[in-house]
């Protein structure tokens, strides 16, 4: 039997009505098991007169950490534009292009694959770049009880800085910028420690009993035929807590650098709307010549 440390009537629990939890355990295939139902099964294994539980738990040590190395691939994110410079003199000149800027929204999606649901909800807020080795700066708040994708997004203005360009006489120079980025996917570990009291509702007497959760679970697990704890849960004798280690996956997109193109054309022709193809040895039919292709980091100027 559970040892009663305090008895109250149903009407005195914060003015809230008592919700009885079904004793049916969660399916082994369930990614988000019902912790409250599992606690009821544990309490009933100690005392069959218990018909409902109300957990009053606190969480500590809640954090999200990266697992392994992310899978990363390149992706073209955004064409930021074209800058033109005219040299209308008979001498070669070094000209400076205008910076090219455009806003881009990137997102990080986290999907919990092994969490838990409870009246005592647990969530963790973290910056992805602090958890894994990727460049995304999005800040996500992850609910351990939500199986659907949880997405955080941020909008940044990406700027291809001014480029110093040698422009031949009577020539128009065209600078193009494409924002290039990465798509990274990987795994996360979700952890927390639960401790506190559980209010157990006993049959017949219609009163509730407050008891510490940890020793009750230890007693339940020591008895023959004890129901297993839900996936990811274990008892920690050092902290006298119910520890949880779950899992999630993430997918994120973020900018890394610019791919830039410098091309020349005649003064009577506009810069093409899109970067010309080919290399420095190729001249297109409209006399647009690619001079060089180069990479510009998100911070800095590579001329």
**pLDDT tens, position by position, 237-293:** 999 999 999 999 999 999 999 999 999 999 999 999 988 876 655 545 457 889 999
Domain assignment present for 210: yes
Q: How far is CA 258 from CA 197, 278, 300, in A?
A: 55, 18, 11
Query: Token pair 């969660």 is at which residue?
Result: 26
pLDDT reported for residue 82: 96
Range of the domain at 232: 7-62+195-239
Please count the CA atoms within 13 angstroms of the CA of 283 that sit on its side-chain side.
5
CA distances for 274 relative to 119, 168, 220, 263, angstroms? 55, 22, 70, 11
Cβ 222 vs Cβ 116: under 8 Å: no
Residue 108 lies in a domain: no
| Structure tokens that stand for 43 in this block | 């309490």
- How confident is residue 29, by pLDDT bands cut at 50, 70 and 90? very low
Q: Tokens for 23, please give them.
A: 């004793």
- The lowest-confidence range among 83-92, 190-199, 263-272, 278-287 is 278-287
Domain count, the chain: 1
pTM of structure: 0.78
One DSSP character per residue, 148-159 reads S-EEEEEEEEEE
pLDDT tens, residue by residue, 165-184? 999 999 999 999 999 999 99
CB-count burial class (<10 Å; 0-12, 13-18, 19+) for 105: exposed
- SS3 state at 219: helix
Beta strands 241-266 and 233-236 are antiparallel
Is 93 a member of any domain?
no
Cβ(120)–Cβ(59) below 8 Å: yes
In a domain, 232, yes or no: yes
Residue 267 maps to a domain: no
C-beta separation of 275 from 176 below 8 A: yes
Q: Which residues make Cβ contacts (< 8 Å) with residue 299, sequence separation at least 6?
A: none
pLDDT of residue 301: 38
Which of 55, 54, 49 minimizes the C-alpha distance to 20?
54
Closest listed residue to residue 98, CA positions, set 114, 116, 112, 86 = 86
Q: Which two tokens stand for residue 153?
A: 């997004």
């Amino acid at each position: 039997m559970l040892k009663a440390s305090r008895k109250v009537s149903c009407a005195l629990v914060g003015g809230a009505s008592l919700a009885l939890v079904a004793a049916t355990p969660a399916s082994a295939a369930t990614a988000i098991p019902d912790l409250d139902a599992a606690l009821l099964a544990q309490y009933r294994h100690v005392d069959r007169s218990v018909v409902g539980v109300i957990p009053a738990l606190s969480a500590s040590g809640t954090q999200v950490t990266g697992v392994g190395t992310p899978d990363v691939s390149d992706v073209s994110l955004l064409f930021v534009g074209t800058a033109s410079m005219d040299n209308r003199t008979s001498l070669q000149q070094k000209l400076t292009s205008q910076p090219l800027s455009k806003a881009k929204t990137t997102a990080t999606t986290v999907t919990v694959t092994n969490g838990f649901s409870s009246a005592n909800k647990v969530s963790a807020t973290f910056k992805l770049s602090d958890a894994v080795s990727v460049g995304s700066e999005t800040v996500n708040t992850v609910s351990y009880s939500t199986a659907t994708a949880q997405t955080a997004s941020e909008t940044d203005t990406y700027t291809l800085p001014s480029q110093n360009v040698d422009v031949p006489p009577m020539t128009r120079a065209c600078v193009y910028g494409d924002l290039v980025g990465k798509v990274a996917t990987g795994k996360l570990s979700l952890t927390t420690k639960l401790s506190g009291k559980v209010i157990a509702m006993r049959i017949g007497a219609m009163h509730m009993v407050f008891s510490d959760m940890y020793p009750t679970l230890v007693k339940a697990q020591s008895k023959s035929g004890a129901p297993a704890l839900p996936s990811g849960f274990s008892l920690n004798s050092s902290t006298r807590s119910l520890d949880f280690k779950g899992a999630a996956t993430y997918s994120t997109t973020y900018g890394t650098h610019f791919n830039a193109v410098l091309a020349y054309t005649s003064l009577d022709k506009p810069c093409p709307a899109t970067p010309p193809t080919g290399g420095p040895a190729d001249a297109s039919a409209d006399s647009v010549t690619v001079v060089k292709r180069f990479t510009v980091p998100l911070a800095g100027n590579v001329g």
